[in-house]
Amino acid sequence: MKSSMLALALLSLTQPAIANDLRPVDSDFLAQVEPFGISQANWDNGEHAATTFPNAYRFTRHYEISPGSNLAPESWQDATGSIDLGSLIAHDADGAINLETLLRDRLKNHTMVILKGDRLLHQHFWNGMTASSTHLDMSVTKSFTATLAGIAASEGLLDMSQPVQTYLPAFAGTAFEGVSIQDVADMNSGLNIKTPPFKSWDPRFTQSQEWNGPNDSGLHGITDYLVTIDSRKFEPGTHFQYQDPNTEVLGLVTEAVTGVGLAEYMHDRLWSRIGAEGPAYWMADAEGNTVASGGLNMRTRDLARVGRVFLNGGRNYLGEQVVPEEFITAIFEGNDRVRAAWTPGKEAALAPDGWYKDQIRVLNIKGHKIIAFVGIHGQTLVMEPATDTVIAMNSGYPQTESERMNTLLFLEAVPTLLDAAANQ
């Protein structure tokens, strides 16, 4: 790993930074936030979210993913104002409430962009943000990692039916041995990982990534942690369990078969081809491994552009195939295996008729069948094929794994917005 990192460093001396230049923690920014009680150790605490989520990548090593030179002409017909949040009514525990109040004050929403076809129905940038501000997307990142794996599979580089150790021999003897890449992608690996309340991860997981700065865990990079997972709770393919290590393994597999880092592969296959308006930033660990399960930062308008690609059968604004159409179709149709695995999981209480496939949810809620990329603080990309509607939002809800947040977001805000978009 050290030799490969040296090679990357030498390469960066002769080539412009695209996605292979590992950038350090922004020490100037750390000095700027320190008087306000914010540090590497606590930047991701809920009380700091409004300030830190638009600047998250500055707290860790990271890659900058350039949008490339093929910027899309602005093709969105501007119909901003077609959706008036103040006139839409949803509900909270205290009764009926207008949607602007629910989003801004209750869900701590920061930004939102709504598209219907090529019409821009609504956009707002609260919390001091602008159209050019990036935001930490947390577990929305998982859906991007799986999409990159899907692209690699379509190129004949990756066989999703193969067990993990086929591509990562070091994982023989761990809980991942014998588990198919597809079951890893579907969060059906059956891993036995104990996590604290209100956390989706083992603390050693984030320590290995130096998500909160240097520490004395003895784990130097995500692989050091992943190979310690040595037991399974369920037979693979039978239970949907939302566990970040699955995504990290999927990212490592994708890197192994493509021969490049995830950030570089994302630049080449996705980001430089969708007409993105600005760079994305992918946070990384001390060894240069991307945080495949939660480290992407991007503009909300660019997140919406990805939604348009998905609803356009995987094609970009030029009609070029960017994401394999069969990958998108398979997610939206689901299969018996992912439906059965979803049923015993806790999210089935929110959406009984749903499933999780390739790190992406398909939910049937209040008459709407949606594809959803979901982050644990309210970061969300919702796509409804029936109405050709995209809702991209970034938020800073202070509590993770919150039943209240999911209820307000998916049972109130999203259906209300989709109903309003359907009438436009």
d(C-alpha 203, C-alpha 207), whole Å: 6
pLDDT of residue 75: 62
Distances, alpha carbon 319 to alpha carbons 80, 315, 316, in Å: 25, 5, 5
Stretch 338-355: mean pLDDT: 95
Q: What is the pLDDT of residues 130-160, one digit of tens each?
A: 999 999 999 999 999 999 999 999 999 999 9
Question: Is 193 within the bounds of a domain?
Answer: yes
Q: How high does pLDDT run on average in the chain? A: 93
201-238 core/surface letters (b: 16 or more CB in 10 A; e: else): bbebbbbbbbbbeebeeebebbbbbbbebeebebebbe
- Is residue 123 domain-resident? no
Determine the residue type at 295: G
> Domain range for residue 236?
2-74+135-331
Residue 345 lies in a domain: no
| CATH number for the domain that contains residue 178 | 3.40.710.10
Q: Tell me the per-residue pLDDT of 357-384, one tens digit each, with 9 for 90 and over.
A: 999 999 999 999 999 999 999 999 999 9
73 pLDDT band, cuts 50/70/90, is low
373 domain residue, yes or no = no
CA distance to 178, 225, 383, per residue, from 184 (Å): 11, 16, 24
How do residues 54-71 score in pLDDT, each as one tens digit? 999 999 999 999 997 766
In a domain, 396, yes or no: no
Q: How sure is the predictor about 74, in pLDDT bands with cuts at 50, 70 and 90?
A: low
User: Residue 395: is its pLDDT beyond 80?
Assistant: yes
Number of domains in the chain: 1
91 in a structural domain = no
Q: Rounded to whole angstroms, how far apart are CA atoms 316 and 308?
A: 8
Is 87 contained in some domain?
A: no
Q: Where are the beta strands (DSSP E) in 52-125?
A: 61-65, 77-78, 89-92, 95-98, 109-116, 119-125
> Would you say residue 384 lies in a domain?
no
